[in-house]
Amino acid sequence: MFQDPNAPEALTLPAGAPAKVWIRHLAKYRDPDPVRSGFELAVTLLPFVAIWAAAWAMLSVSYWLAVALALVNGLFLVRIFCIQHDCGHGSFFSNSTLGDWVGRALGVLTITPYDVWRRSHAIHHGAAGNLDARGMGDIDTLTVAEYEARSWFGRLKYRAYRHPITLFLVGPAFVFFFEQRLPVGHMRDGAKYWVSAMGTNVGIAIALGLIVWFGGIMPLLLVFVPSTMMAAALGVWLFYVQHQFEETHWDHKEHWQVHEAALHGSSHYILPPVLAWFSANIGIHHVHHLYSRIPFYRLPEVLKDHEQLAEANRLTIRESIKTVGLQLWDEKNRRLLSFRDARRARLAAT
């Protein structure tokens, strides 16, 4: 049988082998194809603009139909955010200047200041799974011991934060509509991040001002807000399931290793093809965290060539729904627990 001499060789590691062994093999997938990247950008932006226009036109027919179209367009906005995400990793275009300016332009659509987000996300990649470096670009997660050491009011605040309504409705609305208007977390890190946040704000203000000028307030309320809120909620959900699953990976600094945390602390979210398309394969998150320079459209190649990665950390949609009930990291048993299970374990130990 003919074998392509340029095809990457399959790699099977023995159990317990260090995750960093994969790096050399994954480097072969890092080069983006400028034509493919341009195509992916076009087939995302053109439908997004068309559906936006259709939803706007539908306002004269039915508000409900307009909102329905806006919610569908939230899926395209998720994909736009994922392309912006790849630009931030330098994986969408080989030309970093081009990638950065595409990312900044898309940031107006996603209402996300590109340079601020890129810095926060880089910190997340460099500290994911490190119990001593929590707090930037991640979902707040306490250990069982930390939770039990809190006052009743501290526990109540953490329970309120981890409630699904807060995580997937209130939280996304607050972060995208309000928090991202300032370079939160980088306010003293230089003018670059203020320029990013304020420049994005100006772009958003101009776009929304034109919408109101030509169409009044209703396109803003019934098209912009629903599509943005849908994308924000779905985006936070995807980010949540990428690291908040039962057998994720957390360690204190002295035992933490970036490649181990990347491979074992990130899920492989199994989505139907249409949802994988809208989320730009971000469900293949364990590979992305292990080698973030791989363009999203090449991630399936990695799984096709390396069965070991294809079978790792698999999380189905049904299983992902159950992760909402996991809130505390059990350092002893190395798994996420629910509040109830943590309480049962504490009572059993007394």
pLDDT tens-digit map of 80-93: 999 999 999 999 99
Cβ neighbour number for residue 178 with a 10 Å cutoff? 10
Q: What is the pLDDT of residue 1?
A: 31
The predicted pLDDT at position 3 comes to: 39
The tally of CA atoms less than 13 A away on the side-chain side of residue 336 is 20
pLDDT digits (tens, 9 = 90+) for 23-38: 999 999 999 999 999 9
Indicate the pTM of the whole model: 0.93
CB 342 within 8 A of CB 144: yes
Token pair in block for residue 141: 């997660």
Cα distance between residue 296 and residue 91, in whole Å: 8
pLDDT band at 15 (very low <50, low <70, confident <90, very high): low
Distance from C-alpha of 175 to C-alpha of 169, rounded to nearest angstrom: 10
Angle, helices 191-215/96-109, rounded to nearest 10 degrees: 50
**Structure tokens of 334?**
């190395």
Mean pLDDT of the 108-130 span: 95
Q: What is the DSSP string of 265-307?
A: SS-EE---HHHHHHTTTTTBHHHHHH-TTS-GGGHHHHHHH-H
pLDDT tens digit sequence for 166-203: 999 999 999 999 999 999 989 999 999 999 999 999 99
- pLDDT for residue 347: 81
Q: What are phi and psi of 171, to 5 degrees?
A: -60, -55
DSSP 8-state symbol, 188: T
Residues 103 and 182: their CA atoms lie apart, in Å, by 18
Q: pLDDT by residue (tens digit) across 291-341?
A: 999 999 999 999 999 999 999 999 999 999 999 999 999 999 999 999 999
| Structure confidence by residue, pLDDT tens digits, 224-269 | 999 999 999 999 999 999 999 999 999 999 999 999 999 999 999 9
List the one residue out of 340, 291, 289, 295 whose CA is nearest residue 128. Answer: 289
Please say if the pLDDT value at position 2 is more than 50: no
